[in-house]
Amino acid sequence: MVPSELAARLNCAEYKNWVKAGHCLLLLRSCLQGFVGQEVLSFHRGLLAAAPSLGPRATCRGGSRCTPRARQVIKCRNEIMHSSEMKVSSTWLRDFQVKIQNFLSEFKNIPEIVAAHSRLEQLLTSDWAVYVPVEDQPDGCECDTQTYLSANQVNEIEMELLKEKLQELYLQAEEQDVSPEEVNEKHRDLCVSEQSQVRRRG
């Protein structure tokens, strides 16, 4: 049987949307890391070749610059991480999907990203259900776009997102000079909020 708390969470469409969008961003980051790392390394080598006097401790004062499409994805990422209820609407998810498509269109010549494109599309358009062996039926509606996951897979995805959310709290605490105790309190509140939502959905 599927654990009752997990079934209750996945029966909430807005929570499921939040998990799918967050998982999509984690996959996107994973497939971009290699490409971005190589581009940064190539840029630094070219810069040092043109101006050897810069040295390894030189700082860049140009500030952070992103394309408009990248800024849209960053905005979505912040909305996901700062969502206290860990929910997003289906309308938000569809808009997010369009922004992801627009962003990925800038990397048409990068094989790793092209290969990940269809996987991200499938993730955002599928209806997740938890696979239960033998005679039990998966939770959720029966439809052609359904993707079956094990309970462990869903739990692992949730844990990754909660780790990201906790990391976000610590980064905010550093910027605002908040004590570690206050961050831990926010983390406890986050866990209590999640548990109370599960009880309400049940």
Summarize pLDDT for 31-79 with one digit per residue, the tens: 887 777 777 788 777 777 777 776 666 665 554 566 788 888 888 888 8
**Gyration radius (Cα) of the chain, Å:** 20
Residue 93 has pLDDT above 70, yes or no: yes
| Encoded tokens for 19 | 């998990």
Residue 91 has pLDDT above 90, yes or no: yes
- CA–CA gap between residue 23 and residue 3 (Å, rounded): 21
Please give the pLDDT value at position 9: 79
**Residue predicted with more confidence, 103 or 64:** 103
Close Cβ partners of 165 (under 8 Å, ≥ 6 residues apart): 81, 190
Neighbours of 5 (CB within 10 A): 14
Q: Are 71 and 44 in contact (CB under 8 A)?
A: no
Residues 127-186 pLDDT 10s: 776 655 544 444 544 444 556 677 788 888 888 888 888 887 777 777 666 666 665 665
Please give the pLDDT value at position 136: 47
The helix/strand/coil state of 42 is: helix
> What is this structure's pTM?
0.68
The helix/strand/coil state of 139 is: coil
- CA–CA gap between residue 75 and residue 63 (Å, rounded): 18
- CA–CA gap between residue 99 and residue 76 (Å, rounded): 9
| Encoded tokens for 37 | 């790392």
Residues 12-36 pLDDT 10s: 889 889 999 999 998 888 888 777 7
Q: Are 79 and 88 in contact (CB under 8 A)?
A: yes
HSE, CB side, 13 Å, CA atoms: give it for residue 168: 15
* Residue 177 amino acid letter: D
- φ/ψ of residue 156, rounded to 5: -65, -40
